[in-house]
């Protein structure tokens, strides 16, 4: 071999070894391969371009796209490669400065902490693992280890039916709108005509519902809390009255010498309270058999009277027609306490506090529907009931009575 040729051969070998060492930092090459190939950048490419680039969708381009020219290493390409590297990369440049890809096959963990390491977005992947579908590191941190399917957020079912309503829609119909309610009414027995009547609380006008038996005489009427209509027949017997048909069921006498029960009203439960103006006592009445039991003396000599329960105060209101006064009665003791004098003289007495509006209604003779102020005792005439000479009973339901709603 010519000496000059030997020198060129040695120089070429040294240069090839040097290039193989440099390229090993960017692309792992198996030393056992004799036909090594190195991806070369285009003539006008900078070495910094050999990095995975994000596309518009958050993916990255394959490193192989940075070079379209691959082929065996020869002396004609050696100078181009070395020139490009020398022109763009300082001789003492480290891996971090050149943004060289980490060895993903290594067992050493990739640093992500504050000790000089970049954020996960600064770490690049080896060219043989980068595809256009690669997900962000921030996404990987939130996905399970075995997640390999991209989840479409629109396909997730959160278990809530979409009605198309927005927050503004919710409750919009209620704002400033009062729910419709059925007109309030009272019931009263017209003892002159033996009819059960529906009374308009706004006008006092009466509408006949049905016809009662000819012998009917009810000085007091009331609904129990379970919405059964009861009447105190002749002040001595308890009857149940069907408000739709006027069918009467006799429950039983009060007994125990109790008479003159001209005021009955609901109690705390399904039974009744009553006032006897004959014995001047306050009583309880069993709604199943009519039996009366004395609670205590009123402490006042009542004349003609009526009684009604106040849900808001848990007391019984009563009128004493002998003195034209309004009283409260303690349901535990039966003792009557004076409230106020009435501004209108009372003959007969019908009285009922409507549970739906808390208004104390009354009637007397002549048969007008009245309202009474609970503080002052002032009596206001609402309108004529046209029951003849007098009215002595009123009742208000605790719940709807369907047969009466459209009457």
What number is the average pLDDT over the span 207-232? 97
* 277 lies in the same domain as 191: yes
pLDDT above 90 (res 113): no
Q: 204 and 302: one domain?
A: yes
Give me the count of residues in the chain.
407
More confident residue, 171 or 152: 152
Query: What integer pLDDT is reported at residue 371 of this predicted model?
Result: 98
- Both 81 and 191 in one domain: the answer is no
Q: Of the segments 56-60, 88-92, 394-398, which one has the largest average pLDDT value?
A: 394-398
More confident residue, 226 or 33: 226
Confirm whether 141 is domain-assigned.
no
Asked whether the CA dihedral 169, 171, 175, 177 is positive or negative, the reply is positive
Query: Residue 357: which pLDDT band, with cuts at 50, 70 and 90?
Result: very high
* Same-domain pairing of 340 and 278: yes
> Please, which residues have CB within 8 angstroms of residue 186's CB and are 6 or more apart in sequence?
198, 199, 201, 352, 354, 361, 369, 394, 395, 396
pTM for this model (two decimals): 0.57
Same domain, 111 and 222: no
Among the candidates 135, 159, 175, a domain finishes at 135
Counting other chains too, the contacts that 97-106 makes at CB distance below 8 Å and 24 or more residues apart are: 98/25, 98/47, 98/48, 99/48, 99/51, 99/124, 100/25, 100/26, 101/26, 101/63, 101/125, 101/126, 101/127, 102/126, 103/28, 104/129, 105/28
Span 138-160, average pLDDT: 42
Beta-strand runs (E) in 346-389: 350-353, 360-363, 368-372, 379-384
Residues 23 and 101 placed together within one structural domain of the fold: yes
151, part of any domain: no
Provide the mean pLDDT of the chain: 73
Q: Could you write out the DSSP letters of every residue in 197-264?
A: EEEETTT--EEEEEEPPTT---S-EEE-TT--EEEEETTTEEEEE-TTT--EEEEEE--TT---EEEE
Whole-angstrom distance, CA of residue 192 vs CA of residue 217: 9
Average pLDDT over residues 221-228: 97
Query: Residues 195, 71: one domain?
Result: no
Of the ranges 33-47, 50-64, 171-185, 218-232, the best mean pLDDT one: 218-232
400: in domain? yes
Poorest-pLDDT segment among 133-142, 265-274, 348-357: 133-142
Give 380-394 pLDDT, tens digit per residue: 999 999 998 899 999
Calpha distance 168→163 (Å, rounded): 13
Instruction: Mark whether 88 and 232 lie in a shared domain.
Output: no
Specify whether 21 is located in the same domain as 118: yes
Q: Please report, for the domain that includes residue 361, its CATH number.
A: 2.115.10.10
Domain boundary among 118, 135, 152: 135
pLDDT band at 345 (very low <50, low <70, confident <90, very high): very high
| Cα distances (Å, whole numbers) of residue 226 to 236, 267, 272, 383, 397 | 22, 11, 11, 30, 9
Mean pLDDT for 127-137 is: 42
Q: Which of 69, 101, 135 is the last residue of a domain?
A: 135
pLDDT of residue 45: 45
Q: Which residues form the domain of 18? A: 3-135
Query: Total domain count for the chain?
Result: 2
pLDDT of residue 6: 59
- The average pLDDT across 126-154 equals 42
For range 20-45, the mean pLDDT: 46
- 3-class DSSP state for residue 67? coil
Q: What pLDDT does residue 91 have? A: 43
Instruction: Say what percent of the chain tops pLDDT 90.
Output: 54
Residue 180, pLDDT > 90, answer no
Considering the domain architecture, whether residues 332 and 221 belong to the same structural domain is answered as: yes
In a domain, 157, yes or no: no
- pLDDT: which is higher, 95 or 374: 374
Say if 272 falls within a structural domain: yes
User: First-to-last CA distance in the chain?
Assistant: 129
Residue 241 lies in a domain: yes
220, 369: one domain? yes
Residues 322 and 399 in one domain: yes
The answer as to whether 300 is a domain residue is: yes
Question: What is the predicted pLDDT for the residue at 302?
Answer: 96
pLDDT of residue 388: 86
Is residue 158 one of the residues assigned to a domain?
A: no
pLDDT band at 406 (very low <50, low <70, confident <90, very high): confident
pLDDT above 50: residue 117: no
Instruction: Give residue 8's pLDDT.
Output: 57
User: 14 falls in which pLDDT band (50, 70, 90)?
Assistant: low
**Sheet of 292-297, strands arranged across:** 261-266, 272-276, 281-285, 292-297
Tens of pLDDT, residue by residue over 248-298, are 999 999 999 999 999 999 999 999 999 999 999 999 999 999 999 999 999
Q: What is the mean pLDDT of residues 182-202?
A: 96
- Whether 307 and 261 have beta carbons less than 8 Å apart is answered as no
Would the pLDDT of 1 be above 60?
no
């Amino acid at each position: 071999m010519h000496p000059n040729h030997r020198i060129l051969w040695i120089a070429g070998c040294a240069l090839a070894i040097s290039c193989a060492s440099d390229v090993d930092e960017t692309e792992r090459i198996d030393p056992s391969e004799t036909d090594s190939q190195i991806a070369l950048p285009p003539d006008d490419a900078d070495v910094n371009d050999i990095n995975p680039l994000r596309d518009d969708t958050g993916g990255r381009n394959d490193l192989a796209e940075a070079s379209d020219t691959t082929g065996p290493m020869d002396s004609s390409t050696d100078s181009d490669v070395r020139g490009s590297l020398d022109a763009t990369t300082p001789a003492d440049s480290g891996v971090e400065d050149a943004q060289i890809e980490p060895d993903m096959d290594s067992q050493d963990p990739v640093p992500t902490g504050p000790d000089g390491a970049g954020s996960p977005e600064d770490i690049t992947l080896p060219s043989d693992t980068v595809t256009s579908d690669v997900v962000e590191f921030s996404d990987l941190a939130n996905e399970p280890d075995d997640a390999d399917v991209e989840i479409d957020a629109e396909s997730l079912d959160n278990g809530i039916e979409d009605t198309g309503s927005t927050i503004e829609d919710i409750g919009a119909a209620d704002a400033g709108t009062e729910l419709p309610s059925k007109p309030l009414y009272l019931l009263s027995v017209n003892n002159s005509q033996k009819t059960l009547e529906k009374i308009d609380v706004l006008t006092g006008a009466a509408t006949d519902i049905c016809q009662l038996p000819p012998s009917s005489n009810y000085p007091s009427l009331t609904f129990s809390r379970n919405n059964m209509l009861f009447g105190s027949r002749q002040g001595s017997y308890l009857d149940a009255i069907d408000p739709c048909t006027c069918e009467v069921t006799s429950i039983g006498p009060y007994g125990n010498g109790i008479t003159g029960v001209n005021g009955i009203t609901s109690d705390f439960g399904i039974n009744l309270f009553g006032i006897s103006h004959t014995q001047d006592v306050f009583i309880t009445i069993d709604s199943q058999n009519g039996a009366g039991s004395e609670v205590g003396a009123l402490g006042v000599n009542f004349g003609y009277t009526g009684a009604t329960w106040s849900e808001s105060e848990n007391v019984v209101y009563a009128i004493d027609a002998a003195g034209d006064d309004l009283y409260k009665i303690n349901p535990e003791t039966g003792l009557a306490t004076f409230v106020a004098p009435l501004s209108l003289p009372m003959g007969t007495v019908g009285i009922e506090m409507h549970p739906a509006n808390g208004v104390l209604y009354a009637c007397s003779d002549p048969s007008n529907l009245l309202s009474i102020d609970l503080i002052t005792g002032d009596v206001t005439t609402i309108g004529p009931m046209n029951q003849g000479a007098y009215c002595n009973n009123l009742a208000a339901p605790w719940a709807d009575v369907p047969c009466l709603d459209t009457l």
